Amino acid sequence: MDLFNANGARNCLPALQKLLGLTCSSHSDLQDFVFIAIDLENSAGITRGGSLKNANSQIGFAVLDMKNFLASPKKDISTFNITIGDLKYSKRVSGRFLFGEPFNLTTKRAISRKINDLVPKSRKIILVGHDITSDLRALASFNPEFKNYRVFDTQQIAHSVLSLDQQPKQNHTLRYLLTYFECPFNKLHCAGNDANFTLRLLLLLAIYPLRIASAQSVRSEAVLDDKSVFPYQKKVFTKLQEISRSPLPVKPQLHEIELARKKRRQERKRQARFQDAETIERVRAERARKKEMAAKYAPVKACR
């Protein structure tokens, strides 16, 4: 089946709820799936052909493994960001990516290898995206298997859950839907961040029809309706809600790092005023030696 055109497969909410375990009576009914959300920034830069050294594009992945889903104490989604371009662009992306450090790759071979590492071959894969069609086409150029995976599109699911057909077009955006569901987010239009938030949105869309609203807001914390549900379903519901609303990691901003470096330089200068000439020369020689060693053994910043 061509999933590029199988729109019905992308917004089937009952199928999604079953795959997440929301309609299962026990863990034995839960199949061994891996949900992988994808997002690309400037996909044209990596599909137009030629050198990728100045493509200035990004590929984001967010992974939720359903194996031992409830047994694992970890709530976080595993999130990755691949930058494709020069080191200046990679450094700028690194300052925006919230979930670690991006991989900077500059060849199609290196990108394909990294994508294959992130997508487990022996597992059943379900892809997730927000208006996913163009992203799928771009990723299929690195791994043709992306054409064969099951796909859910959060934009299309939101259409069916929230009846967006009668609403303005701006209400279809990832930003609007994350705000509507009061899902934590920041620094959109960074591929890894967007993939993480798209996967969170998928979970919120899946549990939304099953919930009873709290007194404060139809979008705030809620509990599953107790009518005709199994204890296992309640556990799954609670875990999915915890994952989708988990706090964002705190990452030092580039200007804060630079400020700390400036303070250290100023402190060294202040200390130098109280040192004799011999000590100053010894300290300078030691710094020069450390810089030389660091330059000699520094890792390659860009994978080629």
* pLDDT tens per residue across span 162-173: 876 666 666 789
Residue 30: other Cβ atoms inside 10 A = 19
Chain centroid to CA 3: 22
**Confidence bin at 303 (pLDDT 50/70/90):** very low
Full DSSP string of 102-164: -EEE-SHHHHHHHHHHHS-TTSEEEEEESS-HHHHHHHHTT-GGGGTSEEEEHHHHHHHHHTG
CB 87 within 8 A of CB 52: no
For residue 98, pLDDT beyond 90: yes
CA distance 157 to 304: 38
- Report the predicted TM-score, pTM, of the whole model to 2 decimal places: 0.76
* pLDDT tens per residue across span 114-163: 999 999 888 899 999 999 999 999 999 888 888 889 999 999 999 888 87
Q: Both tokens of residue 256?
A: 């804060």
Q: Which CATH number fits domain 7-244: 3.30.450, 3.30.70, 3.10.620, 3.30.420?
A: 3.30.420
Amino acid, res. 282: R
pLDDT at 4: 38
SS3 59: strand
CA distance 163 to 126: 24
CB 208 within 8 A of CB 217: no
Burial class (CB in 10 A: 0-12, 13-18, 19+), 163: exposed
Comparing C-alpha atoms, which of 204, 206, 188, 203 is closest to residue 248?
A: 188
